[in-house]
Amino acid sequence: MSERPRRPDRGARRSPRPASGQDRAADRDRTPDRDRAAKPRRVPGPGRPAPAAASRGARPPAARRGGGSRPPRGGGARLRLVNPRPRLRLVAVGLTLVMLVFTVRLLQVQAVDASAFADKAAVNRYITVPLAAERGTISARDGSALASTVDAHDITADPYLFGPEQTKIDDAPERAAELLAPLLDKKPAELAGKLSRKGTRYVLLARQQTPQTWRKIKKLKARLADEAAAAPGGGKPDVLAGIYQEKHAKRVYPNKELAATVLGFVNSAGKGGAGLEAKLNSTLAGKDGKVTYAQSGGRQVPTAGVREQAAEPGSDVELTLDRDIQWSAQQAISDQVAESHADSGYVVVQDTRTGQLLGMASAPGFDPNDIRGAKVDSFGSPAVQDAYEPGSTSKVMSMAAVLEEGKATPRTAVTVPNRLKRADRSFADDIDHSTWHLTLNGVLAKSSNIGTILATEQLGSTQQQANKVLYRYLRKFGIGRPTGLDFPGETNGLLAEPGKWSASQQYTIPFGQGLSLNAVQAASIYSTIANGGERIAPTLVRGTTGPDGRFRPADAPDKRRVVSEKTARTLSRMLESVVSDMEGTGTTAKIPGYRVAGKTGTANRVDPETGRYHGYTSSFAGFAPADKPRITVYCAVQNPKKGSYFGSDVCGPVYKKVMKFSLKTLQIPPTGAKPAKLPVLAGKSRDD
């Protein structure tokens, strides 16, 4: 009897039974919850092997459907894991690149661009302040100061320290400007604009302030800094932390107007603005230095060290001017210009043996200590900058040419008519007269224009040849050439070539009309005659003393032979007749006890504004002692409007006053010799 199959144990899994169509439909309608409810509960227990008959005759189980079914054990695809090494390599490469970028940048910052970044950092941490070099002193020949320096302060600021990020307020420039304006005599808006400037660490607020002004600012800075430090939490800003000062040397002129037109002045930038201050600026100024220091909040960090490049002071300059003679010349010409209501005037005093200028005065002048109060047209040096027609003082050059060429002697007779027709005009002397019978000496003594024309016509067989000879001598005397002083704005004067002389100029140039010169050139003409016919270029500088204390004399002046010593001595005696002879025009220049040589001049003046003749130029030139010359004095006054305009009346007294003072100052005694006496009128003999 066959054995009945046993019921499977509860823990055993049943073999699935093929589902019919209705069963499959029911399965589809069954919810997952119901499936889970119908699913038998698994209870752990020993499994029993299935009957052999069942194993052999059973069909393979069909896949169960439904959401809660799971594949049978041992069925489905195997899970395969991805190899992680490629991803790890990618991450490693990325990290390496990042580290490489950081390393390259670090090397760039610390090695390649280290100095550039250090400079950028230093812009905010370090501040550089210039150190002005002390300007050299200008002194007279005796060592007395004509221009010197005193301490002054330029007030500066660092606009960066006035920004809101530094002061924690938005109106720091305006607050600081309100505090500084009354001390610096500036408008608050102007100061605020400078303090608000972007892109700079340095602005200049005011120049050349007195030490007293800086002390007031420094005291105010200290008070604000203390208040800011005492305020809790830094609630009160220090609006003057960025204010600094630069110590400078302010130029002062202890003698005020004395020699101002020679010295010039120093402008607000510390550079020479005119005169010798401008000409010798590089010598006087020296070389500025600088100091660099660390700062924090506008204050120097004392422990950070200081880098300083010392300033090199300028050289001192010693002039040839004698202060006393300069004072005498300036007083005399200033008084005469005022008395005659003239436009201007000049006096030049020269050492005939050396060419050194002992005095060079002009009127009107100015006080270089007060540039604002001076007239702009008075800033120049008129004695070398004004060109004018000299008139009869120029006749001495014509006479020198006639004597040197051997065309006449001082005793040569010259018949001087009342009028002389030449070219397109009729010439006359300054006074109306009948026919004069003069000597060549008399022509010079009485300053006859007609007689000078007649004498110079003898220089050539034709007028054109005579013109060329005269032109050559005028050039040798320095007309149309630089004086040698190399002054700013100096004029060479005007002298056209003889081929360009007009029909009238060839007759006016011999007596000083139709050519022009300056006062120093005019004085040099007479010094050439006084020095035996040798021209020595005028000089103003004796030498310089450098920072090392060594005195370096100026270069020797140029020398040039113009006429022979014989001609020069003859001319000196003729010029003496102008002053000593009662027939001469220069008797107002007589100095008791001294032999004086001189010449008057009265020229038609060209008005610089209209270019036409208007007014007169009055002049007087000469030297003393006539027989042993030491000093040359030249005076010219432009456009005198009150009283006489003749050179003997306007400049003769000035010449006498300055010459007399100069002889006394330099302790030059009279020679004791009797004056030379040359005949003025033809046919009258005089002892030599």
Question: What's 485's domain CATH number?
Answer: 3.40.710.10
Q: Does a structural domain hold residue 478?
A: yes
Burial 636-662 (b: 16+ CB within 10 A, else e): bbbbbeeeebbbbbbbbbbbbbbbbbb
Cα angle, residue 531 at apex, residues 529 and 537 outer, rounded to 5°:
95
| One domain for residues 218 and 274 | yes
Q: Does a structural domain hold residue 54?
A: no
Cis peptide leading into 390, omega within 30 of 0? no
| One domain for residues 216 and 247 | yes
| One domain for residues 431 and 311 | no
DSSP assignment letter at 392: G
Amino acid at 247: K
Q: Does a structural domain hold residue 292?
A: yes
| CB proximity list for 663: less than 8 A, separation 6 or greater | 591, 594, 624, 630, 631
Cis peptide leading into 625, omega within 30 of 0? yes
How far does CA 117 lie from the centroid of its chain?
35
| One domain for residues 335 and 474 | yes
Residue 73: what pLDDT?
55
Residue 143: what pLDDT?
94
Residue keyed to tokens 């006096």? 347
Residue 21: what pLDDT?
47
| One domain for residues 214 and 334 | no
Concatenate the DSSP letters of all residues of 10-73 into one string. Answer: TTSPPPP----HHHHHHHHHS-HHHHHHHSPPP------PPPHHHHHHPPPPPPP-STT--PPT
| One domain for residues 357 and 304 | no
Q: Does a structural domain hold residue 411?
A: yes
| One domain for residues 360 and 509 | yes
8 Å CB contact between 263 and 368: yes
Report how far residue 629's alpha carbon sits from residue 532's, in angstroms, rounded to the nearest whole number. 9
Domain boundary, last residue among 319, 334, 351? 319
8 Å CB contact between 390 and 603: yes
Q: Does a structural domain hold residue 15?
A: no
**Dihedral of CA 11/12/16/17: which sign?**
negative
Closest residue by Cα to residue 662 from 361, 372, 268, 212: 361
**Dihedral of CA 488/494/499/502: which sign?**
positive
Q: Could you list the residue range(s) of the whole structural domain that residue 390 is in?
A: 323-364+381-539+565-665
| One domain for residues 446 and 308 | no
Structure tokens at 167: 């002061």
Residue 304: what pLDDT?
63
| One domain for residues 258 and 330 | no
Residue 631: what pLDDT?
98
8 Å CB contact between 140 and 150: no
Report how far residue 527's alpha carbon sits from residue 422's, in angstroms, rounded to the nearest whole number. 33
How would you classify the pairing of strands 138-139 and 316-319?
parallel
Q: Does a structural domain hold residue 81?
A: no
Domain boundary, last residue among 319, 354, 372? 319
Integer CA distances (angstroms), 484 to 162, 356, 456, 557, 558, in order: 54, 12, 29, 8, 8
8 Å CB contact between 246 and 205: no
Report the first-to-last Cα separation within the chain, whole angstroms.
200
Structure tokens at 421: 């027709």
Residue 268: what pLDDT?
79
Residue 89: what pLDDT?
83
Structure tokens at 383: 């004695």
Our count of domains for the chain comes to 2
Amino acid at 10: R
Per-run averaged pLDDT (10 residues), the chain, 688 residues: 46 46 47 46 50 46 48 59 79 87 79 68 70 91 94 91 87 93 94 92 90 93 87 77 86 94 90 94 91 68 72 95 98 98 97 98 94 83 96 98 97 97 92 95 96 97 97 98 92 96 96 97 98 97 95 96 98 95 92 96 92 95 97 98 96 98 97 88 66
Residue 30: what pLDDT?
47
